[in-house]
Amino acid sequence: MTLKNNLKIALASGVALVAAATATHAMDMSGKTVEWTIPFSETGGSAKWANFFAPLLSEALPGEPTVVAKFMPGAGSTKGANWFQNQKDGGGEVLFGTSGSTQFPYLLGDPRVRYEYKDWIPVMASGTGGVAYLNKEHGAKFDGSANGLKGVKFIYGAQGATSLDLVALLAWKMLGMDVEPVFGIKGRGDGRLMFERGEANIDYQTSSGYLGGSAPLVEAGDAVPMMSWGALDENGVIVRDPTFPDMPTFKEVCEATDGCETSGPAWDAWKAFFTAGFPSQKIAFLPNGVSQDVIDTFVAGFEAVRSRPDFKDIAAKQVGKYPMFVGEGAVQAAKDATTISPEAKEYVVNWLSEAYGVTLQ
């Protein structure tokens, strides 16, 4: 069965599961501990995302169970995802959070992948953005284009070629920049630490990681923002990120840079993976086999979080100004995050092979 057909079945099944939740049965979760496993280190954006939502979800679930983030980094997040594939918990005590760095290996057929998204139950999803920044030496050469950065040797701490880092690496390639990735870090927060220690001179963070860890570097004058990846409007057009409205998007920087094109195979591939990796980037899943009561309870819990009168204000400060999807919206977001065109996949697979010797079979 093809990936496309699998995703159609997954979407139909997920919608049916959510649609069945017409009357939530009040599960008593008093005294329970919900472990929200994140397949990255505790220093990155996914950690900040889960740690932000965990206490809010705890308050919203019946009986106010303890919700704690648990970290399982390794193999570009595939270690944790492979572990979750085998979880059959039926009591609502296991929750899993993915990111674009978990979606991309799946989309590209990474041989480390032993998980199948269609088996999981999405209950919440949220978009995010990303910001690339430079050290102050090279930031002084940035004028809204990458023309002054060509010929500079950049070092970048990366999780892996098939992780969310590929959006950054492909963007810098299109800009004609010489960026050498050092693969093997366990989370984007570790990349920021390399930057802080002077081991890297360029970095990118998702919005939550940037707001929590990189913005202070900018305020101190030790980092200079280069660009955000942008956001999508209702027509699928890239616009400025609502969290960083004063920052140019990659599209704007590309248009201002000699030799960078916002049309053609490279641009189409970049936009496809940006779309799969950011507007619906972070997703919370329950494992296969949970009861409808558990699904209903978590959907209702996340809906209560989203409906808090203070939610938009506190979310903007911690994870950015992005939509939160619950229930059917989370199912659709999961589909969007795990679907790309064959053409985009082929371009990226060929580029990864040529640039980094990564063979995907």
pLDDT in tens, the chain (361 residues): 333 344 344 444 444 444 444 334 468 999 999 999 999 999 888 999 999 999 999 999 999 999 999 999 998 899 999 999 999 887 899 999 999 889 999 999 999 999 999 999 999 999 999 999 999 999 999 999 999 999 999 999 999 999 999 999 999 999 999 999 999 998 899 999 999 999 999 999 999 999 999 999 999 999 999 999 999 987 889 999 999 999 999 999 999 999 999 999 999 999 999 999 898 889 999 999 999 999 999 999 999 999 999 999 999 999 999 999 999 999 999 998 999 999 999 999 999 999 999 988 6
Task: Please check whether residue 350 lies inside any domain of the structure.
Answer: no
Q: What tokens does 66 get?
A: 């303890």
Pairing of strands 66-71, 33-38: parallel
Predicted TM-score (pTM) above 0.85: no
Per-residue pLDDT at 90: 75
Residue 2's pLDDT is: 36
Number of domains in the chain: 2
Q: Where are the alpha helices (DSSP H) in the chain?
A: 3-19, 45-60, 78-85, 100-108, 136-139, 165-174, 188-196, 207-209, 215-219, 250-256, 265-277, 292-306, 311-318, 328-337, 342-356
> Do 85 and 50 contact (CB within 8 A), yes or no?
no
Assigned domain for 326 exists: yes
Q: What pLDDT score does 361 carry?
A: 62
- Residue 252 belongs to domain spanning: 130-276
Radius of gyration of the chain (CA): 20
Question: Do residues 210 and 109 both lie within one domain?
Answer: no
Instruction: Report if residue 222 sits inside a domain.
Output: yes
Q: What is the CATH number of the domain that holds 64?
A: 3.40.190.150
Beta bridge partners of 95: 36
CATH of the domain at 213: 3.40.190.10
Report the candidate in 1, 17, 114 with the shortest Cα–Cα distance to residue 334.
17
